[in-house]
Amino acid sequence: MASDGGFNADWEPSVEHGPDRPVRTGFPIGLTIATAIAMAILIGLGVWQLQRLKWKETLLAHVAQLQSARAQPLESILVEQAQGRDVDLTRVSVVCPGLAARPFLEVFDVRNGEAGQRLISVCEIEAGPYRSILVDRGYVADATGARPAVDPLDRTPIEVVGILRKPERGNFVSPKNTPTHWYIRDVAAMARVLGAQSPAPVFLFVESRTNPGFKALVPAPLPTEIPNRHFEYALTWFSLAGALAFVYAATLVRIFRGSGGRFGEENSQK
């Protein structure tokens, strides 16, 4: 019905809708690439921990054997080392002239939660393929300000028994060695500073005291505790990889259902 003035009271404005906008629900390539990279990293870390587990079990087996192993002459063991034998964690004995009063370098160490230094000196060798070997004489806590007296002219022979150890390799977080502060045992660099001639490529960690009168210097050839939790760490990384795979699969299912069961097709949305 028209009202006065020709105005139709029943008239309503009409809104014309445009064409439906297609929404593409394609396969999530970016998400898949990111997930694959993360999975590769997590699985790689898990495999690395399993490799570390094998190494740690071998180390612990060697340490257990050391409990009853007899000391062998150092010179003969170094001959075998020069021929290619792995002499790491071998108990040896040797006589070192003047070792108790030798000059030393200090290598940072933490023992039983206390920071300190390990003293590294040169032991001259009479026979064998090398002319010297670097000796770790033991640990001194930083709380102890004193050090053993140094007398290069002292040639008193000291018979020591100890364990041969390979020098450790630093990593990206290891502090750099300096002439006055050492953090990584580097045979070549330490031999140059100490004036060692033709040094063996291993260290001798003493078990017997080189300075009986200096009680603060404690022989420490092996860590007091050697933890072995690499299997737990491996399970953690593999579990994270499994959880990521589950989340990725659930995301794919949600996208698949939202696409009506077809990837790569366009659904209309107004």
Give pLDDT, residue 67: 72
Residues 246 and 178 in one domain: no
Residues 149 and 53 in one domain: no
Residues 45 and 142 in one domain: no
Residues 240 and 154 in one domain: no
Assign 188 a pLDDT band (cuts: 50, 70, 90): very high
State pTM to two decimals.
0.67
Per mean pLDDT, which range of 62-71, 101-110, 131-140, 182-191 is the poorest? 62-71
Residues 142 and 56 in one domain: no
What residues contact 83, with CB distance under 8 A and at least 6 apart? none
Residues 61 and 92 in one domain: no
Residues 118 and 161 in one domain: yes
Residues 201 and 168 in one domain: yes
The reply to whether 193 falls in a domain is: yes
What would the two tokens of residue 105 be?
A: 């370098």
The reply to whether 89 falls in a domain is: yes
Q: Please tell me what DSSP assigns to residue 218.
A: B
Give pLDDT, residue 263: 57
Question: Which helix (H) or strand (E) covers residue 124, if one does?
Answer: strand 114-124
Q: Report the domain count for the chain.
A: 2
Provide the percentage of residues in the chain whose pLDDT is more than 90.
54
Q: Return d(Cα 175, Cα 52) in angstroms, integer.
A: 23
Assign 270 a pLDDT band (cuts: 50, 70, 90): very low
Q: Give the domain range for residue 242.
A: 27-68+229-263
Q: How many CB atoms lie within 10 A of CB 178?
A: 8
Using left for φ > 0, alpha for ψ between -120 and 50, and beta otherwise, residue 70 falls in beta
218-265 per-position pLDDT tens digit: 998 776 567 889 999 999 999 999 999 999 999 888 888 876 656 555
74-110 per-position pLDDT tens digit: 999 999 998 888 888 899 999 999 999 999 999 999 8
The reply to whether 14 falls in a domain is: no
Residues 142 and 248 in one domain: no
Concatenate the DSSP letters of all residues of 1-69 into one string: -B-GGG-BTT--------PPEEEE----HHHHHHHHHHHHHHHHHHHHHHHHHHHHHHHHHHHHHHTTP
Residues 143 and 233 in one domain: no
